[in-house]
Structure 1
Amino acid sequence: MTLIIGHRGSAGSFPENTMISFKAAMDAGADGIELDVQMTKDGEIVVIHDEKVDRTTNGTGFVKDLTLTEISRLDASYTFPEYKGSANVPTLKEVLEWATTRDSCIVNVELKNGIIDYPNIEEKTIELINHFNLQKRVIISSFNHYSLVKCKEISSDIETAILYMVGLYKPWNYAISIGAKGLHPHYYAANPKIILESQQCGIDVRPFTVNEIDTINSLFKNKCSAIITDFPELAAQLKKHNE
């Protein structure tokens, strides 16, 4: 059964990476959510995609240069003015605490440390996951594969997944070599053979960001482990037709 993971929540219809978006994704029938984390000036883990707050909030500057208090005051309604004043940048702690109230909700935490090397972001993220006893429901992914290895060294209980954009040769072997249990490729790099051979080797394949109807249907047909989509409601409707 192919699972549905809401990309930044339900980012196609709601302000991305906000509690509004995460709740909407689960209400739409998603099996879980995907989110991105950066670190504030005072060392707090916050949920936001970009290294700067400019695109998705009414603020300016790098996340690393702003305190949690400063970031919490920002409006994160992005291109959805109807949510102005009711959408802000959540902390990872806030999201994980909410996830404990949603039975079986998968949380895919993407570490955004490929450009900025946030000190101890792996330790701090895993500490929060352990605090809420969500080790079996969280997947840590990153384009920084060194960071994924570090996460496995800190905790063997939490699944890691490799993010990548282009074709890798036998990616299932690479995943096994660094202790990852998942592959999160751009959907262009997830052809049927890679999906089949990876999953036969015990490596789950969850392509991103899958928004087109034909692509969603194709991945359902190929029994992909999961899809990561901006439109979980659409994916849930299509899934019913593919069952």
Structure 2
Amino acid sequence: MPFTDPRPLATRERHNAVVPDALIAHRGAPLLAPENTLPAMRAAAEKGARWVEVDVKLTSDMKPVIIHDDRLDRTTNGTGFVGNTLFEDIRKLDAGAKFSPDFAGTRVPTLEELVETVLELDLGLQLELKPTAGDDVETAEVALAAMKALWPVGRSKLFFTSFSIRSVHAAARLMPDVPRAYAVVAPPRDPKALLDETKCQILHVQHEFMPEDALKRLADSGIEYAVATINDREIADRFFKAGAQTVLSDLPDLFG
């Protein structure tokens, strides 16, 4: 369903933006379906999202799966660390019942399943490389090797992001033509210098750590930046007025 673009005209018409849209659906639609699952991607698309964000991690046998936390406990009926668990054992887990009995039997998606669903729904994809501390390079290498085979040649609407500088640098080496975003908690003193250093085109910031002086630095830098995670229209409007290109939201229809 269409929504009203809340951004200033200059932001909407920015021709060099990696993400031209106002909203990226954070982990799909995590208030409507279990986060980072295929039902969450479908729910986001049904609510009008054009882009989704998901997290990819490695199992103990180096298989890429779509899950956010280091541990399995919060979102599945399993226990322990993703990085200590075999792929076949993760695939036996229920990733939906904790959210609602209606989603019982939902599985942790493979990266292949996730990409197939994104392409089927004609969505853009923000793939966050979410390493377990220590496998930063390996997470990028495995995930991007898969993406080279899965993502259609010539199709844009894809970028990689990470809080890990090692993951980001690995992505720049492995798939240099795909844009990258560097995610931070504390706003940088020199946003443009940070993007140059990290070899990224976008900066992702957390809205809770954004005082007025940091907003001004971001606006004055002229970089493309996105803000996470915003579920309030007024807060989103504040950041758009300050020059943000995009927000990440748990509400795919925040601007509906």
Pick the TM interval, shorter chain: 0.7 to 0.9
Tell me what 1:115 maps to.
Answer: 133
Change (3 A) 1:175 1:33: same
Equivalent residue for 2:17?
none
Gap regions ≥5 residues in structure 2: 1-11, 13-20
Q: Which residue of the partner structure matches residue 75 of structure 2?
A: 56
Q: Report the equivalent of 2:203.
A: 183
User: Are 1:19 and 2:38 matched, yes or no?
Assistant: yes
Q: In 1, distance between residues paired with 2:133 and 2:52?
A: 23
- Does the aligned pair in 1 maintain the 2:64–2:110 contact within 8 Å? yes
Matched residue type, 1:121: T
Q: Once the 2 structures are TM-superposed, how far is the Cα of residue 167 of structure 1 from its aligned partner?
A: 2.0
**Contact preservation (8 Å) 2:97, 2:105:** no
Could you tell me which amino acid in structure 2 is paired with residue 122 of structure 1?
A
Name the counterpart of 2:26: 7
Matched positions, count: 232
Q: 2: distance between equivalents of 1:157 and 1:24?
A: 30
Q: State the TM-score, normalizing by the size of structure 2.
A: 0.83
Say whether residues 1:47 and 2:70 are aligned partners: no
For the pair 1:213 / 2:233, whether they are aligned, the reply is yes
Q: 1:91: Cα distance to partner?
A: 0.8
Distance in 2 of aligned mates of 1:40 and 1:25: 26
124-133 or 157-166: which moved more?
124-133
Structure 1 position 178, deviation (Å): 2.2
Q: Which moved more, 1:75-84 or 1:2-11?
A: 75-84
8 Å Cα contact 2:137/2:166 also seen in 1:
no
Which one of 189, 192, 195 corresponds to residue 169 of structure 1?
Answer: 189
| Alignment RMSD (CA, Å) | 2.0
Cα pair distance change 1:38/1:78, threshold 3 Å: farther
Q: Deviations over 1:128-154 (max 9, x none)?
A: 222123562221111111221121011
1:97 aligns with 2:93: no
- The corresponding residue for 1:156 is 176
Cα offset, 1:15, TM superposition = 0.8
Change over 3 Å in CA distance of 1:12–1:194 after alignment to 2: farther
Q: Which secondary structure does the structure 2 equivalent of 1:207 belong to?
A: strand
Unaligned segments of structure 1, at least 5 residues: 238-243
How many Å apart are 1:51 and its aligned residue? Answer: 0.9
1:31 matched residue in structure 2: 50
3-state SS in 1 of match to 2:227: coil
Q: Does 1:106 align with 2:124?
A: yes
When normalised by structure 1's length, the TM-score is 0.87
Asked if 1:125 is matched to 2:143, the reply is yes
The question of whether the paired residues in 2 share the 8 Å contact of 1:166 and 1:188 is answered with: no
Give the match for residue 68 of structure 1. 87
Q: In structure 2, what is the Cα distance between the partners aligned to 1:218 and 1:126?
A: 35
Q: Tell me, in whole angstroms, the C-alpha distance in 1 between the residues paired with 2:93 and 2:242.
A: 42
Q: What amino acid is the match of 1:154?
A: L
